[in-house]
Amino acid sequence: MYGLPLGDGTTAEGGAEFIGPTQDRIAALAQDMGVATFPTYNEGDNVYYRDGRRSLYATDGLLGAVPPDWGVIDLELALLRLGGMIEDVPVGEPWKAAKADEWDSQTFHTWSRSNSLSSGARFLMDVFVSSTLSARSRDVSLLYVLHYAAAAGNAGSPGSIDRLINTKDGAQELRFAGGPEQVPIRLAARLGDAVRYNAPVRSIATGGAGVTVTADGVTVSAKRAVVAMSPAIAGKIDFSPGLPASRAQLMQRYPMGSVAKFVGVYDTPFWREENLTGQALADSGAIDVTFDNSPPDGSRGILMGFINHDNVRRLDSASEAEVRAAGLESFGKLFGERAKSPVRTAMMRWDNETWSGGGPVGLAAPGVLTGFGPALREPCGPIHWAGTETSDYWTGYMDGAVRSGERVAREVGEAL
Amino acid sequence: MYGLPLGDGTTAEGGAEFIGPTQDRIAALAQDMGVATFPTYNEGDNVYYRDGRRSLYATDGLLGAVPPDWGVIDLELALLRLGGMIEDVPVGEPWKAAKADEWDSQTFHTWSRSNSLSSGARFLMDVFVSSTLSARSRDVSLLYVLHYAAAAGNAGSPGSIDRLINTKDGAQELRFAGGPEQVPIRLAARLGDAVRYNAPVRSIATGGAGVTVTADGVTVSAKRAVVAMSPAIAGKIDFSPGLPASRAQLMQRYPMGSVAKFVGVYDTPFWREENLTGQALADSGAIDVTFDNSPPDGSRGILMGFINHDNVRRLDSASEAEVRAAGLESFGKLFGERAKSPVRTAMMRWDNETWSGGGPVGLAAPGVLTGFGPALREPCGPIHWAGTETSDYWTGYMDGAVRSGERVAREVGEAL
């Protein structure tokens, strides 16, 4: 939820962006705040760029992208197997799956290679991980991926890979008028002076009556504290006395993904004239996934591309001009020459943002969910944990963040 | 390097403990400080406890522990394959191995299961990881394990798994008279007032003339700073401006292992009478690896057991009495009834120690060495990095810590 300034008084989504079916809690909160939604542009074909060849595909989802050969069957079988396993993951408690040990002993890379033969199926499983987690398949455990997909639903509708990756009927279906940051901005306005800005918390001391939280310029004493941060970033706070080992060690092993968002602004969404959605998947170049981020009236065109994992790490110390050149080269390859000449560009480099440390979400390598998972949510005395990583449904998404807030509010209410 | 008080004015090794061949730099420093060494007690048989059965074995090393059946061949073949791969890892730069991508895409668990069939071979590969890294085979990448073994040597003698795990001719060959902590204690005495105690560094600001380091009770300005801490713990420092993303994200993904040391003190080293070394491997109970930690003259007996990974996490929130009961149950199972009745016990629970956050060393899950490895050592402006994790040889050991100090001293000298 971050409005990326475009230099002309308007903004594009620089961080979290979409909302989709079963994301009920962010939907309710947005409605409460009077923030409307509109459909992500999704008319026409998507671009598929692989092995130096550009082609088009019509269908949402991974299967639609595979050239129609035996790779489709290969991928379909792998997705069927994944779907079966996802059903067996207890939402919010993946470490309790009957096969949790087996699934948490291997990377998703290992599983995907053992369960496919075609390079097409393997590429699409990798790009599924990259587009949803900004990570490579080797950075996360199979159990974590299953857990993430199992969480892409609600109590009435189980999660699935399709719901994670799809635009229509999926997590990218809708966008927010004015940007999703309108939700916290309006919420903060209601709260007034209770919200302190630019005051990073440096230490939390517990004992006696409760907690003492020391931030830059303000110290607060209370009965309970809620830490609503990614585990890795919460690890920067000095807790005294030290946290229980399970929590302290979890915060050492739940790293953020590596991601930047790159945006090109054009006079018109010219790709629409060519019957393109603006969505693309690519196996090379800085950007591997794109979306049409134009305003709802299409009064101008905005292309957005994700620079993920190794691709962004290569550019973490690059100048803005170098990132711009790399981003526009990707856009040109995917959407033609016109895409190389935007009116302006903008970018949000989450890896370089001190208080995020990457994005979009904390990741779990093998061994972490089974060894440390319960510590994600378990309160440490008067310290409670919120944040999207602690959510049962839609962990990693704005909806998960809101759910975690509702859960922790109940938790604190019951404790007081 | 921590002397564990035994309550009678003496200490046992509570942290790092051993020194072995090719560990030249800690050897030289210890000699310089006048700290003598003596052989780790190693006469007789070792205890092997598996599937509820206790047996004895005579030989050092993993192979000696396997009951003489086809599991020996199974393990030998796996170790031969590992040995070949270890030779192909560039020491100190494992990410440059020709097969680094392949080896860093899988856990050691995945590799060990794909390259063995017998439960005996699998157990011993797991206990190799546990005893050297205080981790499970799924917690680390294959590349990390190969790198760790390749580092167990010096420029004249390549590293190997045997040198990591053996007592005779290996990393556990010798101990330090008075404990290894005599080395830093005497070094600090030479340095006098230059060493500040109980002053954790809270922030490091860079810019202009150099660095400003703010610790509890003292602020120091200098041209350069050396941070000699494990990456995960260094991540608690507030760096301003923020560190480059490669380093900041590395510090999120180099977690400490999970370990405690449990010690039982007896009137005599009674196991020696039964022709036992005091060394044991076990597949159940709190303790999976033991050593004879008696003083050099054998005037009393001290058994030491490692409580590793899941075993210690289960006990992280347990009372001292509960840990004591679990530790003595293990000792009894391995060394008989007398082992259950020590004069006293002591323990060092590294997971619960705020400034260590676990032990013995920072670990790398799949994707970390290839994605972030160079950031282990690369200076960030005037900030230089030391600590055993940054060493080429004997990373994870006291020798690696000393080597890293010598390397960083040269590095800073050249920069000034």
Whether A3-42+172-180+258-352 shares its CATH topology with A45-165 is answered: yes
Mean pLDDT of chain B: 96
Cβ distance A106 to B104 less than 8 Å, yes or no, reads no
| A147 vs A108: CA distance, rounded Å | 12
| A45 vs A282: CA distance, rounded Å | 15
- In terms of CA atoms, which chain A residue is nearest residue B109? A105
Whether B178 and B186 have beta carbons less than 8 Å apart is answered as no
Cβ distance A256 to B249 less than 8 Å, yes or no, reads yes
| Residue B61 banded pLDDT, cuts 50, 70, 90 | low
**pLDDT value at B404 more than 70:** yes
Per-residue confidence (pLDDT) for residue B244, from 0 to 100: 95
Extended beta strands in B267-379, E state: 276-282, 287-292, 301-308, 344-349
**Which of A179-193, B57-71, B344-358 has the least mean pLDDT?**
B57-71
Which member of A107, A256, A258 has the closest CB to residue B105? A107
- Does this model's pTM top 0.90? yes
In chain B, residues with a C-beta closer than 8 Å to the C-beta of A372 are: 313
Structure tokens at A110: 């290992």
Distant-in-sequence, close-in-space partners of B19: CB < 8 Å, separation ≥ 6:
B26, B27, B30, B37, B171, B173, B174, B175, B176, B180, B398, B399
Percentage, residues of chain B above pLDDT 70? 98
- The string of pLDDT tens digits covering residues A286-295 is 999 999 999 9
Q: Can you tell me the ipTM of this complex?
A: 0.96
Which member of A110, A310, A352 has the closest CB to residue B105? A110
Cβ distance B255 to A238 less than 8 Å, yes or no, reads no
Which member of B107, B141, B249 has the closest CB to residue A358? B249
CB count within 10 Å of CB A80 equals 10
Per-residue confidence (pLDDT) for residue B195, from 0 to 100: 96
The domain locations on chain A are 3-42+172-180+258-352, 45-165, 196-249+381-415
Per-residue confidence (pLDDT) for residue A63, from 0 to 100: 73
Fold of B45-165: Polyamine Oxidase; Chain A, domain 2 (3.90.660)
Q: Which CATH superfamily is domain A196-249+381-415 in?
A: FAD/NAD(P)-binding domain (3.50.50.60)
- In terms of CA atoms, which chain B residue is nearest residue A140? B366
B382: cis peptide before it, omega within 30°?
no
- In terms of CA atoms, which chain A residue is nearest residue B259? A245
Question: For the domain B196-255+359-415, what is the CATH code?
Answer: 3.50.50.60
What CATH architecture is A3-42+172-180+258-352? Alpha-Beta Complex (3.90)
**pLDDT value at B192 more than 80:** yes
Q: How far is CA A181 from CA A9, A13, A176, A297, in A?
A: 15, 8, 9, 20
**B329-332: long-range pairs with CB below 8 Å, 24+:** B329/B285, B329/B286, B330/B282, B330/B285, B330/B286, B330/B287, B330/B290, B330/B305, B331/B264, B331/B287, B331/B290, B331/B303, B331/B305
Per-residue confidence (pLDDT) for residue A209, from 0 to 100: 80
Structure tokens at A143: 């159990």
- The string of pLDDT tens digits covering residues B331-385 is 999 999 999 999 999 999 999 999 999 999 999 999 999 999 999 999 999 999 9
- The string of pLDDT tens digits covering residues A190-231 is 999 999 999 999 999 999 889 999 999 999 999 999 999 999
